[in-house]
């Protein structure tokens, strides 16, 4: 609590090594130590220890009552507040604990002792060292203490703890993703057995039900009371139901939905979810000597009412003000996107309507231009019912009587025939197919004349 205690209490709770061990000490007024301060306290074995005040005031009284500790019992006292040199000395000692634990395990293994050293804790002044170990039975560690005293040269104390206390001192993360309950807030360890798992319809799998300590998880007890209260409405001896179709056996139970799943012993293909009330009726029939025909008949005999009960409104009328229920909002329909042609046509129509609205009545478009019958782009002066055009594929149509005749064109005189021209004799050709060089004015030869003969390729030998 972040308030000052109205009733002061001269005892405080001090935690050591991050809360792994806690104890109660008297707090004299001259120390002026409050919650969160590091203090030096007296040790029962001599010397002093360094810890942190975790609780003070009225909360300590409640904690002592919970742990059944008498306030008038003889207790050690707080010496003073710890200064920087004390905290530096404590850090140096805490760094040695890991190496000491590894060496102590090696010594215990050489002596063939069936034990495991789980944690080591030095006193604040470094004069005493406590070894926490786990073992299945009693261990004769008299020889082990001599080796530890010769090796570490401190006062040795051996303390046996359980597996749960070991995991609480070491700490870690559970499979739920959170820190272990035993290392954060849980202070009392209650016994956990497999009956808690059976009540909650959990599979008896040792791997899944075990925690970091190797024992059953403490969280199996958290919801156990809720399951026990819900199971009071279920029948005790309902694992088997006798029917005409065959013997039905119980496969699983849904506690909170109040359903019991049955199937036939001979044919386990289909599950029948029976309500608790239906199972009770079937058991009453069997007591009277009546045997149900099948599980389908039991399923149909007394179906539970699925209509929800009307709940009373959770509000009260204030000054006779009526509170109306919330209106249900309708879903808006999405408009389809128009194409570019439709958008341009719609914009043109809107523009025309705006212009007609701004003009006077005598200058409106309706007086100047007739209304268009449709949007086909027809001209207003054309009639709607046009005569069908004749088919020109069969021939030219006859001339109508009203059409004026075509004027006759004057006949043209025939052209005179041209007189025949005298034919000049062709000049003689040489072997190359050209004209005689002597008869040509330019000097003869085939110069400037294309050879029209085709190349037939080389002659064959």
Mean pLDDT of the 78-83 span: 93
Query: Alpha helices, DSSP H only, in 269-364?
Result: 276-288, 295-301, 340-358
pLDDT at residue 423 in the model: 62
The string of pLDDT tens digits covering residues 132-154 is: 999 988 888 889 999 999 999 99
How many helices (H) and strands (E) would you count in the chain?
12, 12
In this predicted structure, the answer to whether residue 438 has a pLDDT above a threshold of 90 is: no
Question: What phi, psi does 199 have (nearest 5°)?
Answer: -60, -35
Q: Of 240 and 373, which is predicted with more confidence?
A: 240
Domain regions of the chain by residue span: 11-82, 88-161, 188-229, 234-301
- Report the Cα 119 to chain-centroid distance in Å: 40
Distances (CA, A) of 453 to 426, 433, 437, 450, 457: 21, 10, 20, 9, 12
Which pLDDT score, from 0 to 100, does residue 106 have?
Answer: 93
Taking the C-alpha atoms of residue 377 and residue 173, their distance in angstroms, rounded to an integer, is 81
Q: Which of 78-82, 200-204, 401-405 comes out lowest in average pLDDT?
A: 401-405
Within 10 Å of residue 40's Cβ, how many Cβ atoms?
Answer: 20
Strands 128-134 and 155-160: parallel
- Which tokens sit at 120? 């080591």
pLDDT tens, residue by residue, 374-425 = 444 444 455 455 555 555 455 455 554 555 556 565 556 666 666 666 665 5
Residue count of the chain: 461
d(CA 192, CA 200): 13
Residues 6+ apart with CB under 8 A from 217: 174, 192, 209, 210, 211
| pLDDT for position 422 | 61
Identify which has the larger pLDDT, 68 or 301.
Answer: 68
Computed over every residue of the chain, the mean pLDDT equals: 77
- Where residue 439 falls among pLDDT bands split at 50, 70, 90? very low
Higher pLDDT, 319 or 148: 148
- pLDDT of 386 reads 53
Residue where the block lists tokens 């005031």 = 57
Number of C-beta neighbours around residue 121 at 10 A? 22
**DSSP E strands, 124-198:** 128-134, 155-160
The answer to whether residue 44 scores a pLDDT higher than 60 is yes
CATH superfamily membership of 88-161: K homology (KH) domain (3.30.300.20)
pLDDT of residue 220: 92
- pTM attached to this predicted model: 0.54
């Amino acid at each position: 609590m972040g308030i000052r205690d109205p009733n002061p209490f001269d005892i405080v709770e001090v935690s050591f090594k991050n809360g792994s061990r806690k104890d109660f000490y008297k707090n004299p007024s001259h120390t002026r130590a409050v919650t969160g301060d590091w203090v030096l306290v007296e040790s029962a074995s001599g010397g002093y220890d360094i810890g942190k005040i975790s609780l003070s005031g009225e909360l300590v009284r409640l904690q002592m009552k919970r742990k059944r500790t008498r306030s008038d019992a003889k207790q050690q006292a707080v010496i003073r507040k710890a200064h920087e040199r004390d905290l530096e000395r404590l850090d140096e000692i805490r760094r040695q604990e890991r190496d000491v634990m590894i060496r102590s395990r090696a010594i215990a293994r050489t002596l063939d002792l069936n034990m495991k050293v789980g944690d080591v804790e030095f006193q604040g002044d470094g004069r005493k060292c406590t070894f926490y170990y786990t073992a299945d039975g009693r261990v004769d560690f008299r020889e082990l203490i001599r080796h530890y005293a010769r090796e570490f040269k401190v006062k040795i104390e051996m303390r046996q703890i359980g597996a749960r206390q070991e995991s609480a001192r070491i700490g870690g993360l559970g499979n739920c993703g959170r820190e272990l309950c035993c290392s954060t807030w849980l202070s009392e360890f209650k016994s956990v057995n497999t009956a808690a798992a059976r009540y909650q319809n959990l599979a008896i799998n040792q791997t899944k039900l075990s925690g970091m300590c190797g024992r059953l998880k403490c969280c199996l007890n958290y919801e156990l009371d809720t399951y026990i209260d819900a199971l009071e409405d279920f029948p005790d001896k309902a694992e088997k139901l006798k029917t005409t179709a065959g013997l039905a056996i119980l496969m699983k139970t849904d506690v909170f939905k109040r359903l019991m799943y049955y199937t036939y012993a001979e044919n386990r293909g289909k599950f029948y979810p029976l309500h608790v009330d239906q199972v009770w009726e079937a058991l009453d029939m069997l007591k009277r000597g009546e045997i149900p025909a099948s599980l389908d008949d039991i399923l149909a005999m007394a179906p539970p009412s699925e209509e929800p009960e009307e709940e009373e409104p959770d509000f009260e009328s204030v000054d006779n003000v009526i509170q109306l229920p919330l209106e249900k909002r309708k879903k808006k329909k999405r408009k389809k996107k128009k194409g570019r042609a439709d958008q341009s046509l719609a914009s043109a129509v809107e523009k025309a309507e705006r212009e007609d609205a701004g003009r006077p009545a005598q200058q409106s478009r309706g007086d100047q231009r007739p209304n268009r019958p449709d949007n086909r782009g027809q001209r207003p002066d054309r009639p709607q019912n046009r005569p069908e055009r004749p088919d020109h594929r069969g021939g030219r149509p006859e001339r109508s009587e009203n059409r004026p005749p075509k004027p006759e064109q004057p006949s043209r005189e025939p052209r005179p025939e041209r007189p025949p021209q005298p034919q000049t004799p062709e000049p003689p050709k040489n072997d190359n197919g050209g004209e005689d060089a002597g008869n040509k004015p330019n000097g003869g030869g085939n110069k400037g004349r294309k050879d029209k003969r085709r190349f037939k390729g080389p002659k064959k030998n």
